[in-house]
Amino acid sequence: MGKKDQAYQLRSLKKRIAGGIKTYTIASGKGGVGKTSLSVNLALTLGKMGIRTIILDGDLGLANVDVMFGLYPKYHLGYVIKGDKKLSDILVSVQENVYMLPGGTGLQEMADLDAKRQLKLIEELASLEEYCDVLLIDTGAGVHRSVVVFAIASDSLLLVTSPDPTAIRDCYGLLKAVLGKSSTPSELHLVINMVKSDKEAKEVASRLQLTAKDFLGIDINMAGYILKDFHVEEAIKMGMPFVISHPDCEASKCVAWIAKNIFNPEGVDSVLNAPSGRGIKAFCMRLLKQFQLR
């Protein structure tokens, strides 16, 4: 048996035992703090680690994951919902182990389908588990309902903030909105972006962690930080994610460290250690339940 076949069998076994792929929502509260930048570069880093990742653009207003990848897909989930395209037609292969699923307004439209078509679509989405271990969902700015819904439906919430006091306040506001709902993600991670130093990141993180503990009674894992790095802007101008254009820059090293902290905490072989969660079906069901509560 080849190495790839072995890896595939191990993954299948693991999913059968553990449930399904793990879903992560990346959200912030305030806009422009680096959610899309983190989502895209993290997805590529995970792909390199052997963790098969699908990135879903959940920014229902200004979707731009495709722009950051330098890709311009023609179709999105809305076409699958209308029945014009199959899911495999809209899934874009970005690099080995990394796919992009252009969401468009599809996930919201899903809530308006009749139950039979919803189930058919969910079955189709669940077939993505063959392709991936992890689903990352990039979300839009603000504490909008759709962002909260994605966060609640996911296995894990990755909060992103910059050291800017308004960003910290909005990050906390989003956390409060998510925790105000009856069901919450089982894991909470924090990433501080655009920091000047390790010291600044730790100060911001401990302030947020202490406030969350004191007022909301919850623990947030400090997953890491990303230094403010001019290569990030440079890469965007080049139309390329920075982990590809500048793999050795500070921001790339920080993303690698975050990936290891969240996805490979024990340091064991990444195939065996690819995170498992409740799976795509459970994610969709929770998503629909929340959308239907509107």
The reply to whether 36 sits near Mg ion by the rule CB under 5 A is yes
The answer to whether 32 is annotated as binding is: yes
Q: Which string of DSSP letters, residue by residue, matches 216-271?
A: I----EEEEEEE--HHHHHHHHHTS-HHHH-TTSHHHHHHHHHHHHHH-TT---HH
Indicate which of Mg ion, ligand ATP, none lies near residue 232 (CB less than 5 to 8 Å, by partner kind).
ligand ATP
Number of shown-chain residues binding Mg ion (CB under 5 A):
2
Nearer of residues 228 and 289 to ligand ATP, judged by Cβ = 228
The answer to whether 239 is annotated as binding is: no
The reply to whether 41 sits near Mg ion by the rule CB under 5 A is no
Burial status of residue 16 (CB atoms within 10 A of its CB: 0-12, 13-18, 19 or more): exposed
CA distances from 30 to 51, 163, 172 (A): 29, 12, 10
Asked whether 188 and 25 are in contact (CB, 8 A), the reply is no
Q: Among residues 49, 178, 251, 262, which is the contact residue for ligand ATP, using CB under 6 A?
A: 251
The reply to whether 84 sits near ligand ATP by the rule CB under 6 A is no
Q: Among residues 7, 194, 205, 274, which is the contact residue for ligand ATP, using CB under 6 A?
A: 194
Asked whether 133 and 164 are in contact (CB, 8 A), the reply is no
The answer to whether 279 is annotated as binding is: no
Asked whether 9 and 151 are in contact (CB, 8 A), the reply is no
Nearer of residues 26 and 46 to ligand ATP, judged by Cβ = 26
- Site for ligand ATP, rule CB under 6 A: 28, 31-37, 59, 140-141, 193-194, 226, 228-229, 232-233, 236, 251
